[in-house]
Amino acid sequence: MTQEGLFSGSTENVMRWVAGAGIVLGLASAAIMIFVLVRKPEWRVTAAAKWALLVGLLVLPAMTMLSGNVVGFHKVKNSCTQCHTMDPWVADLKDPKSTTLASKHYQNRWIPDDQCYTCHTGYGLSGNVKAKISGLSHVTHEYFTGVPKEIKIHSPFPVDTCLHCHGESAKYLKIEQHVDAEMKPKILTGELSCFECHAAPHPRKKP
Amino acid sequence: MSDAPAPTPPPPRGPVRLVTAACVMALLGIAFSLAHFIGATPLLFTLFMIAGQGSFGLAVFLYAVAILKDLKRQKVL
């Protein structure tokens, strides 16, 4: 690895450093706890043991868990493509002939990174929490209960996700229907889905 | 008059057991963390989030109880 690679500020590289720090801190913490455990039981409640455990049982593991969260939540954003269940949808994203909205967004890099996560996670704290809960159910399906034959979106796709980027853009506001007095409220309330007029986000059926 | 120091009473078993259990639980949490760092898969991440952090949380709780018991035994609290 070149020096430039080792110290580059790219997110991936920072995550490698965070993961490395997490491993070192975790091993140091484990070493302290094993040291405490192999001593005589009476020693475990001495002042020296308390100081050792303050570091080995509280501070270092807390930092390890923090790094684990940072690395995990970064990597898990790309994990949709790791399950074979999603292969057909991923193939469509990368298919140059595809006309779906998702593939256009992916191939034109309108969303540069974490494309699945960006569109399928609501904004704000509740969006992140909901994404984590649904991610947990996806893992449960994939590893334990089995994946349903037909996969469909859990709830209607929120219009806010599209409007977050497009809503205030000049190109969007130039379209008559978007600012029409009758249609605008319907779009904003989600009564009228973007996909009523625009291409489907993903293939209607399993590609 | 004898100069020999009075023998210190052995610590009660409760806090010792709690500290031991706390260490074991924390080690379990660390093991899940290390597994998640080394093989970053969604399953390992889920295990880390639930079992790993859960074990660590329990370890902190047990250790806190051990400290409180010890402080009460020494009549600090």
Q: Considering just the CA atoms, what is the radius of gyration of chain A in Å?
A: 24
Which residues of chain B carry a pLDDT beneath 50?
none
Same domain for A100 and A163?
yes
Q: Which residues of B touch A (CB under 8 A)?
A: 10-11, 15-16, 19-20, 22-24, 26-27, 29-31, 33-34, 36-38, 40-43, 45-46, 48-49, 52-53, 56, 59-60, 63, 66-67, 70
Minimal-distance CA residue of chain B relative to A30: B27
Three-state DSSP state, A199: coil
Residue A95 has pLDDT above 90, yes or no: yes
Question: Is the ipTM of this structure higher than 0.85?
Answer: no
Among A30, A49, A76, the residue with its CB nearest the CB of B45 is A76
Q: How far apart are CA A135 and CA A142, in angstroms?
A: 10
- Nearest residue to B29 via CA among B49, B8, B4: B49
Whether residue A107 is found in the same domain as residue A175: yes
What does the longest C-alpha to C-alpha distance in chain A come to?
80
In a domain, A204, yes or no: no
Structural domains in chain B (count): 1
Whether A134 and chain B come into contact, CB under 8 Å, resolves to: no
Q: Is the pLDDT of residue A84 over 80?
A: yes
Q: Do B72 and B21 touch, CB atoms closer than 8 A?
A: no
pLDDT at A192 over 80: yes
State the DSSP string of A145-168.
I---SS---SSPPPHHHHHHHHTT
Domain range for A138 is: 83-196
Angle at B34 between CA B28 and CA B37, to 5 degrees: 145
Name which residue leads in pLDDT, A110 or A82: A110
- Is B9 within the bounds of a domain? no
Are A161 and A184 in a shared domain?
Answer: yes
- Does any domain span residue A159? yes
Cα(B17)–Cα(A2) distance, rounded to whole angstroms?
A: 50
- Render pLDDT for A30-65 as a digit per residue (tens, 0 to 9): 999 999 999 988 888 888 999 999 999 999 999 999
**Boundary (domain end) residue, out of A14, A42, A77:** A77
Please report, as a single letter, which amino acid is at residue A165. C
Q: Which of B24, B38, B49 to mutate to test the interface with A (most CBs of A within 10 A)?
A: B49
CA gyration radius, chain B: 19
pLDDT at A5: 72
**Residue B10, min C-alpha distance to chain A (Å):** 7
One domain for residues A57 and A95: no
Among the partner-chain residues B16, B46, B48, the one whose CB lies closest to the CB of A41 is: B16
User: Alpha helix locations (H) across A39-144?
Assistant: 47-53, 60-75, 87-94, 101-107, 115-120, 124-140
Same domain for A95 and A177, yes or no, is yes
Check pLDDT > 90 for residue A10. Answer: no
Q: How many CB atoms lie within 10 A of CB A202?
A: 20
What are the chain A neighbours of B22 within 8 Å (beta carbons)? 53, 57
Distance CA A107, CA A167 (A): 21
Whether residue A102 sits in one domain with residue A62: no
B5 inside domain: no
Residue A109: in which H helix or E strand, if any?
A: none
Task: Look at B30 and A45 and tell me if their CB atoms are within 8 Å.
Answer: no
